[in-house]
Chains A and B, each alone.
Chain A
Amino acid sequence: MTSLDDVVRSTEHRLLRLALMLSGSRHNAEDLVQSVLARAHRQWERIGGLEHPEAYLRTMVVNEYLGWRRLLKNREVPLAEPIERPADFDLGARQAQRDATWRLLTRLPRKQRAVLVLRYYEDLADSDIAEILGVSPATVRSNAARALATLRDHLSAEEAN
């Protein structure tokens, strides 16, 4: 059986990055990963015997994020208003677009954001994402389509402004 210490050492940073992409802030990410690791510790006899305990921890992080009511009610990152920039210079269109995208991600429903993170950050196939989220691949695709449509519309509106 793999030891929890070994798995934590090898995956902690990766889990933290995944949690950051999901939650939008380092502090929330740390809280997410801590909660998951504390629960994993209690269940390690079972998890440690799995073929890929790292993948299981990743699924736990995603599910913790999706089920974290406290994060929504009390600890969600306050939505920053789009930062107004002086108009007399170009701030770098690509950078501005990425900043806007990061802000818009925080406004998506969490399942949609999770799908985008798993698809475009973790580079997982829709079938793998479906397994993690416990939904069908068709549901993954529809969540992704809705999320992309929202981003497309908002980015277009921001650029128009």
Chain B
Amino acid sequence: MPKLTDDELGDLLRDTFADHEHLADHPPEATKRHRIAPVLLAAAAVLAVLAGALYGVSRVGAADPAPPAATPTPTRTASDDALIWTASIETLLRSVKPGSGAWRSVIVVDQSDDGTNHFPKGPPISADQQEMMTYLMRRIAPLQFREKLSPAPPTCQDNRVGVVLISEMVDKGDHVEVRVNLFHDCNHGSNATYRVEHRGPSWVVTATVSSTSASW
């Protein structure tokens, strides 16, 4: 394969940066930290006290800011996220039998711009991630993606159609937790929170943290 030109590398870098912007927008829940502005105000208060206390005390040079407490540093990539979602969705789909036969279609709702219908906003799922998930799930169910829950998918007309919502990942350091909701067969719903771990080349569900199912 020919090496990339400077222009092609520039485009790749722009795409790469754009691809990772969401990391600044969606901090992992378990490691979500203080917002900066309140900390700045607190720092100002501390500085004011320190300034008073140290008044008249001569110092040589300024000390570096105190190192913040160490926190786990997530290094997941977009591909990892797609693998984690796929593993979680597959696990829930395998635990629920569709009305008859195999899943005809499973609609994954990307709620990143929605967050309505009493469900929290979900993570953004890029076109490449959708492509990857669709490929990985091809033997379980054909996946479709849509941005909103409404209009209601046809789970009443077709009991082999499922609707899936996925949560933001909660980073637990050595593993992540993902909640998956599945609606199917008109009035059936199941949800589960899975522990997903990095094993070898991929990610696998290693435990069910919680699960419920209901009919209405």
Contacts and interface: CB of A to CB of B under 8 A. Distances in A.
B96 interface: no
B142 to A, nearest CB: 15
A52 interface: no
A96 to B, nearest CB: 7
B1 A90 contact: no
A56 to B, nearest CB: 16
B131 A12 contact: no
A33 B30 CA distance: 21
Given A86-B202, A94-B15, A120-B10, A20 B20 contact: yes
A62 to B, nearest CB: 15
A39 B161 CA distance: 56
Contacts of B77: 83, 99, 102-103
Contacts, number: 143
Contacts of A80: 75
Contact of A17 (B24, B68, B126, B131): B24
A86 to B, nearest CB: 6
B74 interface: yes
Interface in A80-113: 80, 83-86, 89-92, 94-99, 101-103, 105
Contact of A159 (B1, B43, B75): B1
A84 B201 contact: yes
B17 A38 contact: no
A94 B15 CA distance: 9
A35 B47 contact: no
A155 B13 CA distance: 12
Contact of A85 (B40, B126, B202): B202
Contact of A41 (B44, B80, B200, B201): B44
Interface string A56-93: 00000000000000100011011010011110011110
Interface string B79-96: 110100000000000000
B117 interface: no
B54 interface: no
B136 A101 contact: no
Contacts of B60: none
A116 B10 CA distance: 9
Contacts of A39: 65
Interface in A1-35: 4-5, 8-9, 12-13, 16-17, 20-21, 25-31, 33-35
A26 B16 contact: no
Contact of B78 (A98, A119, A155): A98
Contact of A98 (B3, B10, B19, B202): B19
Contacts of A8: 36-37, 40
A121 B73 contact: no
Q: Which 9 A-B pairs have the closest CB atoms?
A: A95-B128, A84-B201, A120-B13, A99-B77, A121-B17, A101-B16, A98-B16, A17-B24, A92-B128
Interface of A: 4-5, 8-9, 12-13, 16-17, 20-21, 25-31, 33-35, 37-39, 41-42, 70, 74-75, 77-78, 80, 83-86, 89-92, 94-99, 101-103, 105, 116-117, 119-121, 148, 151-153, 155-156, 159-160
30 contacts: A4-B40, A8-B40, A13-B24, A21-B20, A25-B75, A26-B23, A26-B27, A27-B71, A34-B36, A34-B39, A34-B43, A41-B40, A41-B47, A78-B75, A80-B75, A83-B79, A85-B201, A85-B202, A86-B201, A91-B79, A92-B79, A95-B128, A95-B131, A98-B16, A101-B12, A116-B13, A120-B10, A120-B13, A120-B17, A159-B1
